Structure formats: C-alpha cells, structure tokens
Structure 1
Amino acid sequence: MRFIPNKLQLDVLRRHIGPFVFCFFTLMFLLLMQFLILYIDMLVGKGLPLGIILDLIVTNLASMVVLAVPMAVLVACLMAYGKFTELNELTAIRAAGINPFHVITPVLTAATLLSIFLIWFSNDVLPDANQRARSLFIDIRLKKPGFDLKPNEFYEGIDNYTFLVKRITHESDSLHDVTIYQHPTQNRKEAIIKAQKGRLDSEADGQTLTLYLKDGTILRKMDRRKKYKSIDVFEETAFDRYRISFDLSELAFSRSNPEDRSRNDRTMDIEAMMTVVDSLQKEVVSQKKSIINNKSYIIPFQDTTSNKRPDRITTTDTTSKAMESKFIALQYLETKKEQNQLKSITLSLLRSYKSTLSDVATDTEWRIGKIAQYLVEVHKKFSIPIACIVFVLIGAPIGMYTKKGNLGYAALIGTVFLTFYWISIIQGEKLADRLFITPFTGMWFSNILLGIIGLYLTIRFCTSFKFSNLWKNRG
C-alpha cells in the first residue's frame, strides 16, 4: 500500500510542472512588458548600445523572478488540483482509503524547497542584480545619451544651450515653435534663437546632431559701446533657414563600476542590513543617553553663607530692590538687575536645550525610520518566498472544491487572492516605512491571514473536522 501513494504523489507533481512553467513564463512576460512600458522613453532613441539595454533587462529580471514564482505556484495548484477532482480521481483515492492530504504533501514539500531557494536567491543574487540595474540607470541619466526633448519642458542636456519646444512630431522628428537660448562662451556671444519649425537629423557616426530651423529670428547681445557702457545693445536678424550642429561625443554612454556606488536597502543582503540596523540602534540609544545626561540647562547655585535665605540689603534705590518671586533661585538674589540677568541666562540656556532636543528628536526619528525600512526589506526576503507554501495551502483545497482544471477558473480565483496579497504587501511596506505599523506586521499580515485560511480549508477538506463540533461536543 505504500507504493501506490508514492506513485500517485509523483503523478500529482508531474501535473504541476506544466501549469507552473506556463504560468511562470507568462507572468515573467507580463512583468517584463510592464517594465518596458515604464522605461521605454529612457531606453529608445538614446543611442544606447544593444548590449546595455539587454543587460538592464536581464538585471531587472531577478526582481521579477521573486514575484512570479509564488504567483505561478498558486495558479498551478488551482489548475492541477482542479483537474484532479474534475476527472473524479479524488473520489477514487478516497474510495481506496487514501487521505487527500497525501496528494498535497508532495506539492507542499516542493513549495518548501522552492521557498528555501527563493530565500537564498533574494539574499545572495537579487541585491547584486539590483545594484547593477541601479548603477545602469544612474549612468544613463548622468550621461544623457541622445537628445531628450519633450514638449513644453526646458532641456539643458547639451552644454551651453537651453531648449524649449512647444510641440514635437515624433514620426518625422519635426519641432514646432522652437526657442533656443545660447549661453555666452569665448567663441560666441549670448543669443536667443526662435523659429516656427525645426527638424533633427543625426549624422552617421552618431556623435553629431544637426538642427535645421525655418522662419525665425536670432537676437544677439552685442558688445557695449564706449558711449553707452551702461546700456545693453542687441541685434536681431531674421532668417529663412538656419542650421546648428551639436557635438554629442561628450554625451556618449560610459559605464561605471557598480561596486563604486553606495548601496541601499534593496541592494544589500540580510547580514549587511542587520549590521546597519544594529549601528543605527546604537546611535539612537547613544543620543537618548546624551539627552538624559545633558545638564546644560541647569545653573549651579551655591550659598556660601548659610542654607537659609539671606537677609535683603536695604537700599535707597527702590527700583534696584529685588522683586518678590515664587522661584526660590530668584529669592536668593538681592537686586532686580541680578534677577533679570539670571532670567535671561536661564531662558537662553533653555532655548539652547530645546533646540538641541529638537535636533536629537529629528535625528532619532530619521534613524528609526531607516531602521524600519531595512527591517521591512529583511522581512520581505522571507515573507514573499514563504508565500509559496501559503499558496499551496490555499490553492490545493480551493482547486479541489471548484472541480475545474482550466486556466480561466484558475486565473480568476488566483487574481482575487494575488490582488489581495500584493495590495497587503505594498500597503504594509508603506505603512511600516511611515512607522504606522511594525515591519513584521506589514510584511507578514497577509501570509498569516491567508495561511490560517488555507490551513483551515486543508484540514476541513482532508478530515471531518468542523468548528461547530467544538461547541456541539460541549453541549
């Protein structure tokens, strides 16, 4: 009898492979399309080498893998187990006295191994991939390859020129209502160039860009004459056609070493992040101790004569006599001038202490916020991979209940759970970063909730357990 369940379990695992692979690559394709849509303006028309574009895509695929695997697990479970019950195989194994949990165990084991792999992948592979992708993005933005004109936006990507174009026809690279401010240099004077139309043309070497203008004017600033040194003189010239060539050799793309750039929470492994967290926590404790031990606002007072209040000195100048005060320190002073001096010194020290306290509070709040961000990333490296196990507990019983193994039902049900899961993760991360909830709660809430639901459904499907039996037995 032991051989039959093992053979059955292997068959169930084989049924998951096809749907899992199909769903995984489908989701990877959709995530890749989303990435390309978001960054298409940055990649196309910039003169970037094809290898750089491919490298940027490949390095961003790592983060997509971590998202796609748990989603593929859920959809594969819904399809495989739905097909299993649709063919009445579940009824057959129950008739043979085999508990349905035996067909869930192998997939649960595979999901556990997959979770372990994703935890390793998220900690050892993903940070380096994110660092390479981040470095590439920075290089592209800093080097500004290409001519990135946008309608109604000032562009200063080429040295000594500022461009403003009202409308652009991308199909023909035509520009309309063009304004160019030419900064003064040693070789040319300051000028403002306006034209009704323009056209961009790139040379074959890719290092020179030519702008052809039509129907415009050039307003040049001339040298001041001796008679009118305080008056700016301009010369306006009309033109039918005008050409400007720009040297783009300095804007050519060059790649930097990713290791030379600093890392953030998304480009660190768990050990590095916990080191930063530990350092920040020590700084917070140190700042709190410095505030507690800060006695700069206290003015020492010593009565060298006695512990009692000294007798007041009688004087004919009534304005100089000390005023009655409810503050003991002021009562020890004999003149109004001394009291005012002590009051001024005390207020100054208190204001200084308040400023110090405010600075420390701001620094501490910033450090606590950074600690939360790092802890969110640490928890995320575990919570998303563990979702593979949670989705098996959810997908297996629901798939058996639906008795439908087609992609439509699986996609519909999977979309509901995945939408809830990712909204919870995204909002949990935002709330944790803003210190409304703890990082643990933000990253594990959806796992715990769906895990409890999945565990109950699995127990309910595989046994005769019902919550209603608890109070029935008591009765």
Structure 2
Amino acid sequence: MLFIGTFVVSLFVLMMQFLWQYVDELIGKGLTLDVLGEFFWYMSLMMVPEALPLAVLLSSLITFGNLGESSELTAIKAAGISLIKSFRGVIVFTLFIALISFYFQNSIGPDAKKHFDQLLISMKQKSPELEIPEGIFYNGIPDTNLYVEKRNLKTGHLYNIMIYRMTDSYEDQAIILADSGMLQSTAEKKHLILNLWNGEWFENMRSQELSSSASVPYRRESFVHKKLIIDFNEDFNLTSMAGIADDARTKSIAKIHHDKDSLIHVYDSVGNVYYRDAQQSIYPILKLKKKDMNKAIMLASTKNYNLDSIYTKLRPEERSQIIERTLMNTQQTISDLDFKSMITSDGDKLIRMHDIAEINKYLLALTCLIFFFIGAPLGAIIRKGGLGVPIIISVLVFIIYYILNNTGYRMTRQGDWAIWFGRGLSPAILIPTAIFITYKANNDSAVFNIDLYRNFFIRILGLRMKRNISSKEVIISAPRYIDDADMLRKMNNEIEAYVERSNLKSPPNFIKTFFKYQPDHDIEQLSKKLEAVIEDLSNTRNRIILS
C-alpha cells in the first residue's frame, strides 16, 4: 500500500509538471470532457515509467527509515541477518517493478505517446472558443482583429464595432466600422456570420500597374446593412497520425530496429549517390590517352613550368570571365553541399533518435533498481520515517538524476556527445553512489553522522568548543576553592614553561601533527589536572563559576 500511495503521488506531481508545458493549448478552446479525459489518460500512461523510479526511491526511504526509527533494523541485525539479506524480498519486488516499467515503455507507452501527440496537435489546431471581450481587440478569429466597445449579453448585439481584416498582403487589408452588429455561428459550426449595421468599409485595392509609387488605391463604401461570412471551424477534429508515427518514441524496440535498419539503408544509398556526384563534379578523374598522360607528366616535371603563366597570357576580358565563372561554380558547389549536408544531418539525427529511444527503455527500468539501492540504504542510515526527511532526500536525489539525465539527453540529441556517454552519464554517477551507500549501510558506517564531520573540521581548523556544565541537583561534597585556585596558578606556571620550552610562537606543522605524530605527555598531564579541577568545581552552586 505504501508503494501504491507513493506511486500515485509521484505520478500526480509529474503530470502536473508536464501539464504546465501545454496549459495554453487547453484553456479557452472549449474542449469537451471526453477529449480532456483522453488527454489526461494518455498523459498518465506516458508518465508511468518515469513515476515508478521516484515511487521506488520514496517508498524504500520511508520503509527502511521507519524500520530504523523503531529499532526493528537493530533487532534484525541482532538476529544475525545482515542488511543485504533483509533486502532480498524487496529486491525481487523492485525487479518486478523494473519489468513492469520496461513493458510499459515497450508496449503501452509508444501507443500512448502516439495518441497523446495526436490529441495535442489537434488541440493546437482547434479554433479557440468565441468569447469577445469589451474594450480590447480580439484576435481569436483567423485573419481578423475585432474591437467591440459594448456588448449586450442578453440579445447578443455588439456596439461600436471596429474590424481590421488582416491578410498576407498589405494591398488586401480592410478596415470596417459599424454602429452595431451581431455575430452568430452556422449550424455546422464551420463559419461565422457577422451582420453589421450603419457603417463604412475602407479597403485597399490591388494596383494593376507596376509603379515605384508608394501610394495604394483604396475603396470606400458606406452601408446600412452588410453580412460577412468568416471561416471559423469550432469542431474538434483529430489530425492524421502520418507524421506522428515517424517519431522514435512512438515505437517498440522491434519497430525501432526495423525502422533503423531501413533508415541506415536509405541514407547509405543517399551517401553513395552523393559520393559519386562529388567524384564526377568536384573531383573529376580525367581519362587521358597514354600518350597525352606521358606528355602531361613530362610537362609537370619541368622546373620552369608555371600554371600562372597560362592565366597571365590571357586577355583582360578572358580573365574576368574565368573569375566570374569560377565564383559562380564555387557558389553553386557550396549551395549544393549545404543542401546535401542538411539531408545527411537529418538522417543522422533520425538514426540517433532511434538509438536514444531504445536505450531509454532499458535505462528507466534500470533506474528503478538504482533508486532502490539508494533509497533503502539511506533509510537504514538516517533512520527517519514519515513524510518529512524522506521526501526531502527523495527530491534532492531525483533533482540530481533529472539534471544528469536531461543534460545527457539534450547533448546526445544535438549530436554534441556520443550516445553511450550522454545516456550513460546518470547511471555512471548514480550506480557507484548506490554501491557506496549500500556498503556503508551494511557495515553500520556513520557516514551521515553530522557530529563526526563537525568534530573532524573542528580538529582540522583548531577550533575550540565551549563546554556547558549544568548544576547538580545533589551535591555530596563542596568544592575546594582554595586548593583549586592554587592548582590553577601552578598549571598556569607550567603552561608558560611549556610554551617557552616548546617554542610555540608559530602555527603547528600539519605534517608533523597528522603524519608524524608523537605523544606529548606534558600536555596529557596538564589536561588531567584541568579535568580534575573542573570536576571539583562542578559541585558548586555558584552560577558564575558554572558559566
């Protein structure tokens, strides 16, 4: 039940994060509940493989954190069962979850992705719901900007209307002014009928003469009533899957292998054609007779042979013609190579995206196991259950994974990194981390003991900690103030003598302190005497001395 709860929470969070990317496509489109239901259904199916690793991480943290907090892990270890042995049953369950993740990505996920993209494209193409505001220009009608000063909600009449009809050409633009009007939709919801009363129509007209003049003829018309029919399709129509089916993310592994082989065959053929074209056009091999070949070799071997001499012997007009022809051929060759490079780059990207899609199916399944071996040992180490610390740690681990995974994906998709490096970046970092944490948890290491690290840095930096001594409720013997004062004076003299004898005028040598350590018996004796004085003075009730 815990895993199901964490899975539902993880799926909801990922869906909300994913939904924000497409919220503009949902608002104001007048979509029906069945369309929205399909949209969220296919989105949830797409998010299942990504929610499973996060659910495994969070549930394992909470489970073993609760066991550690209630000392049940201590009892398990006391019974002679190691931490790894206690993981066995959960490891089998995690393997089952990983198989479910792989099945979703290979069978259900591609089909869900295909239908989701189809719905999303259809939503983008759907016309927005007609809701004309007052006092501002409304651009929800194609090629039209509509301004209405006042609108009667009961009758549907519009008052003080201004319409800018926008087209691709400046010469076809029109401005329509009207005192009132009414906008209605046809029965088949394919067009809008706009009735206008008492207005004027200003429209640019196409000039039939080619002239350098900037003026454009226009037409002005006054009308009492005019009816306009505007194309406006309010129906929701599903787009074709022809272009969507080519996406590698909408294919199973078998389909990816088949299509990738086809792509490689096609683009290899294209590359061979381009290679033969380059041999013929850019690097032509001239076929000469043996006699002409020998003559050319002898001519090239002469020391006084200069190719520039041929050019200098030409007339000026012939030189300019040669230069122009050479520049033109070079530009044509560059344009041709740019076009061919674009074709081959698109092919490389398609093949690369198929490889990435195949690796992702295995990678997300593997991530379930990695997150378990991070979450379960961490829960055993921190020994905190509930929804506080485990959620914080889960979010931090998932953010690190997301950054690594997303960075590798983007760099691989662009072709900047090799596929094995980009997609293997997150496992290469998280797997050693999981092994390290599991090893430390199995050996009861205090790797996450904050006091251990604090004391280490205090020792390195030579800092001192203030000792807090609380007053005792029951005092058996009163402190000997006179003897303690004499002891402190003697210790002060001994410390001054030690400073002069040891020449403590410079910072300590860290190499000698940590690598060539030798016991200092004088300091040990001084420390024992000081502890004895502190122990005796702790029997006082004087708060000034205790502070």
Per-residue CA shift, 1:34-78, capped at 9, x if unaligned?
A: 455444443344333321221121111111212211111101011
SS in 2 for 1:252: coil
Q: Is the 8 Å Cα contact of residues 145 and 251 (structure 1) preserved in structure 2?
A: yes
Which amino acid in the other structure matches residue 385 of structure 1?
A: A
Distance 2:358 2:422 in 1: 12
Instruction: Determine if the alignment matches structure 1 residue 403 to structure 2 residue 383.
Output: yes
SS in 1 for 2:246: coil
Q: CA deviation at 1:147?
A: 2.7
Distance 2:21 2:149 in 1: 22
Write the mapping of 1:68-467 to structure 2, written as runs, cut at 5 A.
Answer: 68-144=51-127, 146-147=129-130, 154-157=139-142, 162-164=144-146, 179-181=162-164, 192-194=175-177, 218-220=200-202, 232-236=218-222, 250-255=233-238, 258=241, 262-290=245-273, 292-293=275-276, 294-296=279-281, 297-298=283-284, 300=286, 301-302=288-289, 304=291, 307-308=294-295, 326-327=306-307, 336=314, 354-463=334-443
Distance 1:168 1:374, change over 3 A: farther
Q: Is the 8 Å Cα contact of residues 146 and 162 (structure 2) preserved in structure 1?
A: yes
Distance 2:62 2:88 in 1: 17
Q: CA RMSD in A?
A: 4.7
Per-residue CA shift, 1:366-408, capped at 9, x if unaligned?
A: 2222222222222111111211100011001111111101111
Distance 1:223 1:308 in 2: 71
Partner residue in 2 for 1:7: none
Distance 1:442 1:352 in 2: 37
Distance 2:204 2:80 in 1: 100
Distance 1:92 1:244, change over 3 A: farther
Give the TM-score normalised by the residue count of structure 2.
0.63
Partner residue in 2 for 1:30: 13
Q: When the two structures are aligned, how many residues end up with a matched partner?
A: 419
Partner residue in 1 for 2:486: none
Distance 1:295 1:198, change over 3 A: same
SS in 2 for 1:274: helix
Distance 1:325 1:143, change over 3 A: farther
Which amino acid in the other structure matches residue 24 of structure 1?
A: F
Higher relative contact order (CA 8 A, sep 6+): 1
Q: Is the 8 Å Cα contact of residues 379 and 439 (structure 1) preserved in structure 2?
A: no
Which amino acid in the other structure matches residue 68 of structure 1?
A: A
Per-residue CA shift, 1:334-392, capped at 9, x if unaligned?
A: x858x979999888776665554443333222222222222222211111121110001
Q: CA deviation at 1:202?
A: 7.9
Q: Is the 8 Å Cα contact of residues 150 and 160 (structure 2) preserved in structure 1?
A: no
Per-residue CA shift, 1:404-443, capped at 9, x if unaligned?
A: 0111111100010001111222221111111111223222
Which amino acid in the other structure matches residue 144 of structure 1?
A: S
Q: Is the 8 Å Cα contact of residues 81 and 396 (structure 1) preserved in structure 2?
A: yes
Identity of aligned residues (%): 25
Stretches of structure 1 that go unaligned for 5 or more consecutive residues are 1-17, 225-229, 313-323, 468-475
Distance 1:357 1:202, change over 3 A: closer
Distance 1:295 1:45, change over 3 A: closer
Stretches of structure 2 that go unaligned for 5 or more consecutive residues are 207-215, 448-547
Q: CA deviation at 1:90?
A: 1.2
Distance 2:4 2:24 in 1: 31
Distance 1:153 1:269, change over 3 A: farther
Distance 1:438 1:377 in 2: 14
Q: CA deviation at 1:222?
A: 11
